[in-house]
Amino acid sequence: SQTIHQWPATLVQPVGSPLSLECTVEGTSNPNLYWYRQAAGRGLQLLFYSVGIGQISSEVPQNLSASRPQDRQFILSSKKLLLSDSGFYLCAWNSGVVYNSPLHFGNGTRLTVT
């Protein structure tokens, strides 16, 4: 069966520090991978998605970036965090082959920038 792992579960970082959140998927090949952020009053905001290794689409211009160094690994990064980067970050995957495959989410990372 397929599983998605996301870590860490919680993170407190000072303003200006770097960020690296990692997500891995097991039990499937060539998944689509997504990073979403849930911020207060804004629902689930799509940040990045990837349909293959090295392919990243950015939805929201900001100081975050994403990379997909391996087929089932998706990394969210920042060189310098802002206060506004605080939120609940969710990694998700779906099948790149099955039409309209639902998203499967990880358990999320609660990021607090102080």
For binding to other proteins (CB under 8 A), which residues are involved? 6, 32, 34, 36, 41-46, 49, 51, 57, 59, 90, 92, 94, 96, 100, 102-108, 110
Our CB check for other proteins shows the closer of 39 and 67 to be 39
Q: Give 1-8 contacts, CB < 8 A, sequence gap 24+.
A: 1/27, 2/26, 2/27, 2/28, 2/93, 2/104, 3/27, 4/91, 4/92, 4/93, 4/104, 4/105, 4/106, 5/106, 6/90, 6/91, 6/106, 6/107, 6/108, 6/109, 7/109, 8/109
| CB 16, min distance to other proteins, A | 27
The residue (of 15 and 97) whose beta carbon lies closer to other proteins is 97
Distance in Å, CB of 58 to other proteins, minimum: 12
Nearest CB to other proteins, comparing residues 51 and 53: 51
**Nearest distance from residue 113's CB to other proteins, in Å?**
18
